[in-house]
């Protein structure tokens, strides 16, 4: 899977050991899917405008000054689609490559560098965690979110956008077991 020594040792105290390590399941998550949907919708809008730009000037009744609008608008929609959809796709890919660990005192999340972003590490002391939210799927996979529930926080001003704004174990196997392990580690210390 991955090498604990190389990945997590720089963040561990002397004598501290990893009690659980994992990685999100590699499948398309909702964030990446949202990005693809946004890109597909805007591509559809672009195709409609380009079709109108070609067909309207050919009709005898609609020879007007509207043709440049049908050529400029696709570029506007292309920029909007790329600026919204592409970051969602890249952040979804980044969450699929994240490495997770739990020690007796810490939760460690390592996002390896992917296209356009460098490596990012979140080290959270278990003692300071105010809230852990478990979202479990039918197949036992799930997400553990550390901190305030995402819908109640203004993510724009809390350290980043979307994925980076709230530390979480995204799409992990046996999410309930990991949740119970973290609660046990919190109770022991």
Q: Find out whether 102 and 20 touch, Cβ atoms under 8 Å.
A: yes
Q: Are strands 18-23 and 106-111 parallel, antiparallel or unpaired?
A: unpaired
19 contacts 181 by C-beta, under 8 angstroms: yes
pLDDT of residue 189: 72
Tokens of 78: 């292309």
CATH number attached to the domain at 4-24+98-188:
2.30.29.30
Eight-state DSSP code of residue 117: B
Q: How far apart are CA 17 and CA 90, in angstroms?
A: 32
**Rounded alpha-carbon distances, angstroms, from residue 154 to 77, 81, 107, 159, 160:** 27, 23, 23, 10, 10
Give pLDDT tens digits along the chain (189 positions): 455 557 788 888 888 888 999 887 665 566 667 777 887 888 888 888 777 777 766 665 555 566 667 677 788 888 887 787 777 777 666 677 788 999 989 999 888 776 666 778 888 898 878 888 898 888 888 888 887 654 444 444 333 444 455 788 888 889 999 999 999 988 887
Radius of gyration of the chain (CA): 23
pLDDT of residue 112: 78
Cα separation of 147 and 154, whole Å?
13
Answer for the pair 167, 122: CB distance below 8 angstroms, yes or no: yes
Predicted pLDDT of residue 57: 64
Q: What is the pLDDT of residue 61?
A: 59
d(CA 20, CA 101): 6
Residue 178's pLDDT is 94
């Amino acid at each position: 899977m991955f090498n604990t020594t190389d990945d997590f040792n720089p963040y561990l105290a002397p004598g501290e050991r990893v009690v659980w390590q994992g990685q999100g399941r590699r499948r398309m998550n909702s964030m990446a899917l949202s990005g693809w949907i946004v890109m597909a919708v805007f591509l559809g809008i672009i195709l409609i405008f380009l079709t109108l730009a070609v067909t309207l000037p050919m009709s005898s009744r609609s020879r007007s000054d509207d043709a440049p609008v049908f050529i400029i608008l696709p570029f506007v929609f292309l920029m909007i689609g790329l600026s919204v959809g592409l970051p969602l796709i890249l952040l979804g890919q980044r969450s699929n490559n994240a490495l997770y660990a739990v020690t007796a005192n810490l939760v460690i999340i390592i996002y390896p560098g992917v296209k356009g972003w460098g490596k990012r590490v979140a080290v959270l002391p278990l003692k300071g965690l105010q809230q852990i939210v478990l979202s479990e799927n039918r197949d036992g996979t799930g997400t553990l979110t550390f901190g305030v529930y995402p819908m109640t926080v203004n993510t724009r001003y809390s350290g980043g956008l979307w994925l980076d704004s709230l530390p979480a174990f995204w799409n992990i196997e046996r999410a309930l077991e990991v949740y119970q392990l973290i609660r046990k580690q919190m109770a022991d210390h």
